[in-house]
Structure 1
Amino acid sequence: MNYGISFDNFRKKFNLPWLCVGDFNEIIRSSEKLGGSNRSQAQMQLFRDVVDECGFIDLGFSGNRFTWQKHFSIGHSIWERLDRAFAINDWLLRLAGTKIHHHFANSSDHCPLWINTVGLDFHSAPKLFKFNEMWLSDWGCSEIVEAVWDARGSDDPTSRTVPKIEK
């Protein structure tokens, strides 16, 4: 299908390290399916072609090899690896340690994917408290501040001040 813009042009327009994760409703090879009728080679090839055109690299996984399952009342089941994570080379260069884990979920026919982005720092600096004078216009604010500030505490001014500010 041609939607007027290739993924390569889209990727160049937004120069980012791409990670694409989700339920693709397709398998890449026959070994990613157990049970049911065989998937056609032509259908799997179409999916592989799209993956190649996008420059995607399958990140692999740890855990159960199947991410979707269907059980029939007549006793047979189908298992497939439909959920996966792809990245482009830029992602792998920046976050080479990214790991994908398949987890068990009894509330869905798909298993959740846990993405561990080793090397990506999500730590943020502690937020500093800032008093906004406009809070004093809120009914009851000044009474609350005065009540906390007037409360009796330790005789040491330092140990009295910090807990009052925290309150």
Structure 2
Amino acid sequence: MAIEDFNIVATSLEMKGGHHPNKRARNEFVDFINKNSLRDTTTLGLRYSWCNRRIGNKRILAKLDRALVNNSWLLENQNWRCKILPRKFSDHSLVIGWCNKNLRPSNVPFRFRNIWLASSWTW
């Protein structure tokens, strides 16, 4: 797994405003991802992880920060999620990842508690 600022977008859809990214650099990045069988897991949160902090026509947004993982990582961490958080102090957003593991065994039966009936419900 690699979570970092790659400083390049993979597609033109990952950028809003400014000039189109260098096609050669973009192709090299996509080749790197494909040759190493990596997958971008930053699918939650913000769409863009970087902003030049300008307004109007000069504003540029781009997805430069991401979490790349391989299939082995995903097999070991099946509930892996990754999110781009809102920017606060930097022009880059934080990227966080976590794994939701259900520690409860799947064969635990449901148990009804009589105390639930004794509650003071107001309908």
TM-score by length of 1: 0.56
Aligned to 1:109: 91
Distance 2:66 2:56 in 1: 29
**TM-superposed deviation, 1:25:** 0.3
- Structure 2 letter corresponding to 1:119: K
Q: Are 1:95 and 1:120, in contact at CA under 8 Å, matched by a contact in 2?
A: no
Structure 2: unaligned runs, 5 residues or longer: 104-123
- Runs in 1 of length 4+ with deviation above 4 angstroms? none
Indicate the residue corresponding to 1:90 in structure 2. Answer: 72
* Post-superposition offset of 1:112: 0.5
Q: How big is the shift at 1:118?
A: 2.0
Decide which of 58, 70, 75 is 1:76's aligned counterpart.
Answer: 58
Q: Which has the higher mean CA deviation after the structures are superposed, 111-120 or 77-86?
A: 111-120
User: 1:65 aligns to what?
Assistant: 47
Over the aligned positions, Cα root-mean-square deviation in angstroms equals 2.0
Q: What does 1:136-155 correspond to in 2, within 5 Å?
A: none
Unaligned stretches of 5+ residues in structure 1: 1-18, 122-167
CA distance in 1, matches of 2:29, 2:13: 15
In percent, how many aligned pairs have the same letter?
24
Tell me by how many angstroms 1:42 deviates.
2.5
- How far did 1:64 drift? 1.2
More strand by share: 2
Structure (1 or 2) with the greater helix fraction: 1
Q: How many residues align?
A: 103
